[in-house]
Structure 1
Amino acid sequence: MYLNKKIFTAFAFISLTVFSQEKIVADNESLEISNLDEVIVTATRTKRQLSSVPMPVTLITKAQIIKSGTVRLKDILVEQTGITLASDFGGAKGVQIQGISADYILILIDGLPIVGRASGNIDLNRITVNNIKQIEIVKGPSSSLYGSEAIGGVINIITEQPKNEKLEGLISYLAKGGATNQLDISTNVKWKRKGFGLVSGINLNSSNGFDLSPETLSKTTEAHQNFTGNLQVSYDFSKNLKTVVSNRVYKKYQGNNREGNKQTDWSVNAKVIQ
């Protein structure tokens, strides 16, 4: 299985265009660095220091994600204590926290639920670590704040936001050979000017799957192609008032060329931040 060459060419052209507009920081330019205490918002829905949160919370920082060398969200989560991954009959990877089923684990991006559960699972294969600022994991019941889907816990993915009145771009490419022949390409663009902010990202992921029992008709894991696109537009009315509109599209095709399963998820959210 392979990604369409035309899509890849357009993908690379957009990324190179973004990079050509970035400003180069001079070597002699000094930057002030301030070390701040880690702050989380998921456990109480208010900004609090990690040390003062009255419940078990795990915080995964950007530096930890980079050091791990992972590409998909599932790879960084499985390294955490109390978290395991469970596959459904379709091969989707759902997360369990302290033995609680994936049906009762709420997964958020910037405080908004991810849509598209299949057999109770949000497939973690669909989420890349591209543009993630930090991951907040609340272990234990949080249904009083987030509803019945959070009986086992909450995973909140906090993304990077545009700042400093400039255009920034990032592209990553990963290819693995062997039986699965995996390909993963991600790009992300951030821009801010005069109160307007824009975050846009695309992720393409494909695999040939693998088969542990060639004598059977179906493979152990079927081949797949995933596409994820996100667009977020924001406007700062003042330092204390901000509005954000975000759109996220996910398309998945799994199976052979004749018969396969297709899934499309689409969501639009708007919120006001004070």
Structure 2
Amino acid sequence: MKRKNAFIALLVLSLFLYEAVYGQGEGEQILRPNTQTGDSLEIKDKIRNLEEIVVTGTRTEKTLANTPILTRVISSAQLRQNDFENIMDALEYTIPGLQFNSDPRGDNIRIQGLENKYLLILVDGERLSTTPGGPIDFERLSLSNVKQIEIIKGAASALYGSSAIGMTINIITKTPDRKLEGWAKTRYSRFNDWVLDASVGTAFRRITSQTLFYRNSHNGYDLTPESPQAFTKDPGTNMNIEQKFAWNHKKTQITASGIYYLTEVTNPGESVKNTHYKSNNKTLRVTATQHFADNHQLKASYYGDFYTRNTIYQSTNESEKNATSDIQTLRILDTYTPSVSLQAIAGAEYNWNKDYNAIQYGEEIKTRKVNDMNGFAQVDWQIIPLLNVVGGFRLTHHSVFGNAYSPKINVMLSPGNWKFRGGYSKGFKAPDPTELFSDFMMGSVSHNIGNPDLKAEKSDYLYFSSEYRRAAFNISVDMYQNSIRNKIQSAFVVVKDEKGVEETELRYSNVDNARIRGMELNVDYRPAQKVSLHGTYAYTDAKDTETDLQLKGNIRHAFSWHATYKDRLLEKDFSISLAGHWNSSKINDTEEITTDSHTGKTVQTVTTNPQSAFSLWKLTVVCTLWKKGHTQLDISGGIRNIFNYTDPVKFTTYDPGRRFFGSVLFKF
């Protein structure tokens, strides 16, 4: 590790000296949007659109090049060039070390040894409700309507509250800007995976409207054919209908949107189960913005996300509600910009969560409620042209665990073509209702018992990054440490009642501390006008400081890469992209402490059962068959998992193997 850090320091120093001697002669090169398609596909000079507007790191609009909070962006151009299957596909091929697996409850994510609950998923700045089991259901999101995906690592609780400890992913959606626009798309691949996706929108005078429809169905797949009654991914169907409205009048803007999502996960043909899941999700968002002057605006918003899961009895086709997960948020945000170099935001927020579960919380109580009240503020100060400082904090009062204080400070120094960023932020994660209130028998295995006295998990995040940009070359090195205290752990405990009868209980407690250190190297390079290359390497050392073992599921080394060639063939625009990612072996160490019956000494035994390293590759070809003005017809096709890698034994990846795909997109 010391050699690696020395190499990075030498690389940064060399580039700095090169810039000092030779770096004043060349102007900045710009990536300009393609006015024909609305996507940033035509690269005129620059490898990346550093003028892209991002909002996640500061809750205010800043260009990617000038945000002091390190932000990674998956652009609309990347999404289109790779024709990703869904949000999961886009994240997995772009964020090194990120792992997915799905079950009937939703999509489980793990990165840096941290699971779902330490990652915050947002859509246009609002958090998605989780499924009753805890995961996120990404199938409810249409990729065609995504403008870009913004990713910030580390603690972001000062802006977004609970769960923003490990990573925050903000999915930014599109808004119509013409009198009539839209698209219709169909996509098909192996396992009868069929997507229908359409939208129509208008921006006429003061009114903006957009209607979206998305449907996906698949037959599921099985990596263990010796047990055909249970699939690795069960068959399912998803449908999403969304309506957006906006009204603008002088200095007033009102927006509203509603989403209805329906999903059904069925059983494979040879299954002996008599039940399956059917779920629906309703989302409502209303926002009112008032501009008092060019430098002052007040924004009030309501957000509600309501998820319901039902059990379907196949013999009678009757339905029974078994769980719900509801989130509601009220927020007011005041933004004041007294000068071009100073901006301040302040706000208040109230979050209300209600969870119902037919069995989770005991026989008498079926519904659990928690809420939190928040006040937050942030100042963004461009002290001098080379120095930008952003500082802020959040005060939270949670109805169960009490109070939390989450400060942050970020600094960016910009000499020439360099960007040096650094910062500190504190994060927290409130215990979830399962950890607080569980009271049920898990089959014959254990009695699961929550702990209402749990403390919030808290983190301290430090990072430093250096970025160098010059002509067709961009390189950045990021180093960080994330220390998490009071990690909540579940453990089996054998207890005896008054009659001496033993029972196994699963209990929750604050016992673990974790320390995660790492570095990430990002390189963008354009060796020729028609070729763009991108590569990322991530190193992660994720340690449980109580046992001195790596966190289960951690991957020490991970690469992701993306190469695109764009040209004209037979007078048609086309691009060919090769993307992939490689993960080193997944750590799965288990500690067992026993007492030697002869000596009385404590013996620590560590069992290692690593999951093998693997890589997945994806090839995509996109061709514009016809284009006139804003109207065009695109076709795309490709291969996912080119080398047909599967792991039906240890499930290093849940990928089902090689599959060809094709799609047709008509835009107007």
TM-score tier, shorter chain, comes to 0.7 to 0.9
Between 1:180-189 and 1:110-119, the stretch displaced more is 110-119
Task: Tell me if structure 2 keeps the 8 A contact 1:115–1:265.
Answer: no
1: distance between equivalents of 2:230 and 2:154? 38
Residue aligned with 1:130, SS: helix
Aligned to 2:337: none
1: distance between equivalents of 2:248 and 2:73? 27
2: distance between equivalents of 1:109 and 1:53? 20
Higher helix share: 1
Determine if the alignment matches structure 1 residue 214 to structure 2 residue 228: no
Q: 2:186 aligns with which of 162, 173, 183?
A: 173
> Displacement of 1:91 after TM fit?
6.7
Matches within 5 A, 1:49-128: 49-87=63-101, 89-90=103-104, 92-128=106-142
Residue aligned with 1:150, SS: coil
**TM-score scaled to structure 2, two decimals?**
0.34
Q: 1:94 to 1:53 in 2, by over 3 A?
A: farther
Higher relative contact order (CA 8 A, sep 6+): 1
Q: Deviations over 1:189-219 (max 9, x none)?
A: 1112121111111110011111233343222
What one-letter code is carried by the residue in structure 2 that aligns with 1:270? V
Determine if the alignment matches structure 1 residue 262 to structure 2 residue 278: yes
Aligned to 2:401: none
Residue aligned with 2:88, SS: helix
Q: 1:231 aligns with which of 229, 243, 246?
A: 243
Larger Rg: 2
1: distance between equivalents of 2:150 and 2:223? 36
Higher strand share: 2
What is the root-mean-square deviation of aligned Cα atoms in Å? 2.3
Please list every run of 5 or more consecutive structure 2 residues that lacks an aligned counterpart in the other structure: 1-35, 37-43, 290-296, 298-668
What one-letter code is carried by the residue in structure 2 that aligns with 1:133? K
Aligned to 2:200: 189
Identity of aligned residues (%): 30
Query: When the two structures are aligned, how many residues end up with a matched partner?
Result: 238
What one-letter code is carried by the residue in structure 1 that aligns with 2:155? P
Task: Tell me if structure 2 keeps the 8 A contact 1:116–1:265.
Answer: no
> Displacement of 1:232 after TM fit?
0.9
Residue aligned with 2:143, SS: coil
Task: Tell me if structure 2 keeps the 8 A contact 1:106–1:149.
Answer: yes
**TM-score scaled to structure 1, two decimals?**
0.79
1: distance between equivalents of 2:50 and 2:222? 49
Between 1:197-206 and 1:145-154, the stretch displaced more is 145-154
Please list every run of 5 or more consecutive structure 1 residues that lacks an aligned counterpart in the other structure: 1-24, 26-32
Aligned to 2:154: 140
Aligned to 1:17: none
Q: 1:125 to 1:267 in 2, by over 3 A?
A: closer
2: distance between equivalents of 1:163 and 1:79? 30
Determine if the alignment matches structure 1 residue 154 to structure 2 residue 168: yes
Between 1:213-222 and 1:186-195, the stretch displaced more is 213-222
What one-letter code is carried by the residue in structure 2 that aligns with 1:231? Q
> Displacement of 1:123 after TM fit?
2.2
> Displacement of 1:144 after TM fit?
1.3
Q: Give 4+ residue runs of structure 1 displaced > 6 Å after superposition.
A: none
Aligned to 2:215: 204
2: distance between equivalents of 1:98 and 1:231? 37
1: distance between equivalents of 2:166 and 2:214? 29
Q: 1:83 to 1:138 in 2, by over 3 A?
A: farther
1: distance between equivalents of 2:97 and 2:281? 26
2: distance between equivalents of 1:89 and 1:66? 27
Aligned to 1:30: none
Q: Deviations over 1:20-69 (max 9, x none)?
A: xxxxx9xxxxxxx9x88122111110111222322321111111111112
Residue aligned with 1:151, SS: coil
1: distance between equivalents of 2:281 and 2:236? 16
